[in-house]
């Protein structure tokens, strides 16, 4: 927790006391996957992923297609954040889900979406979030087409063979407003 986070009204939360419904919070309200540092960072919207328990740890699962610019930052860093927003920020999430930081100057994507970087626990989220999960990478692997029991999903979701990279990450801190 930084002084800035206290000023913004963030508090460290007990993960077991959280009342999060992942189907609603990820699937409907969406989240931002953000990674980087004070020098440079990037963010993208995600509506797929999960929250659960693996290897005796509280984890988040995120899936990122290889062409996302955010993937480079997630791959370079030990940690990333998943952040969640009040409903009036949905336009910002739509923007971050339809524009790539690859085509912009440093920091321009977040700024254009009206988001202010917030540096937390060696990674990045945004001041406008109402919940931030700090996630430390544990495992990653590409989605393998050979693994599909329902092969119709391959034609439906991967006509370009751009199989997601799946990341399982330990949730090391939760901050809520
Ligand atoms: C609602 C919504 C959900 C999305 N979910 C994902 C996702 O789970 N994984 C993914 O790779 N892309 C997802 N995207 C697409 C990326 O957010 C989008 O391609 C974004 O522009 C990537 O930005 P970047 O290139 O700056 O990383 C989603 C987009 C929207 C609008």
Q: What separation in Å is there between the alpha carbon of 94 and the centre of ligand 1?
A: 9
- pLDDT score, position 1: 85
- pLDDT score, position 122: 97
| 3-state SS record for 56-113 | CEEEEEEEECCCCHHHHHHHHCCEEEEEECCHHHHHHHHHHCCCCHHHCCCCHHHHHC
pLDDT per residue as tens digits for the range 44-68: 999 999 999 999 999 999 999 999 9
Contact 93, 45 (CB under 8 A): yes
Cβ of residue 90 lying under 6 Å from some atom of ligand 1: no
Q: What separation in Å is there between the alpha carbon of 158 and the centre of ligand 1?
A: 14
Cβ of residue 166 lying under 6 Å from some atom of ligand 1: no
Cβ of residue 103 lying under 6 Å from some atom of ligand 1: no
Q: What separation in Å is there between the alpha carbon of 113 and the centre of ligand 1?
A: 14
pLDDT per residue as tens digits for the range 89-99: 999 999 999 99
Q: What separation in Å is there between the alpha carbon of 120 and the centre of ligand 1?
A: 22
* Nearest alpha carbon, ligand 1 atom 1: 47
Cβ of residue 101 lying under 6 Å from some atom of ligand 1: yes
Contact 19, 50 (CB under 8 A): no
Sign of the alpha-carbon torsion through 129, 133, 134, 140: negative
Query: Could you identify the atom of ligand 1 that is nearest to the CA of residue 67?
Result: 25
Does the predicted model carry a pTM greater than 0.75? yes
- In angstroms, the CA 70 to CA 63 distance is 11
> What is the pLDDT of the chain when averaged over all its residues?
97
CA R_g for the chain: 16
- In angstroms, the CA 42 to CA 100 distance is 9
pLDDT per residue as tens digits for the range 106-150: 999 999 999 999 999 999 999 999 999 999 999 999 999 999 999
């Amino acid at each position: 927790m930084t002084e800035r986070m206290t000023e913004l009204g963030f508090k460290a939360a007990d993960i077991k006391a959280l009342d999060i419904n992942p189907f609603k919070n990820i699937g409907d309200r969406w989240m931002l996957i953000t990674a980087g540092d004070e020098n440079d960072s990037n963010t993208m919207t995600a509506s797929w992923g999960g929250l659960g328990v693996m290897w005796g740890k509280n984890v988040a699962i995120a899936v990122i297609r290889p062409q996302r610019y955010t993937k480079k930052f997630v791959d370079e860093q030990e940690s990333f954040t998943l952040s969640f927003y009040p409903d009036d920020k949905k336009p910002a999430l739509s923007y971050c889900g339809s524009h790539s930081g690859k085509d912009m100057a440093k920091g321009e994507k977040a700024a254009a979406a009206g988001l202010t970087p917030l540096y937390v626990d060696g990674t990045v989220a945004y001041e406008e979030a109402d919940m931030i999960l700090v996630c430390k990478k544990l495992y990653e692997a590409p989605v393998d087409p050979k693994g599909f029991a329902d092969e119709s999903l391959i034609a439906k979701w991967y006509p370009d063979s751009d199989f997601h990279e799946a990341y399982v990450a330990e949730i090391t801190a939760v901050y809520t407003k």
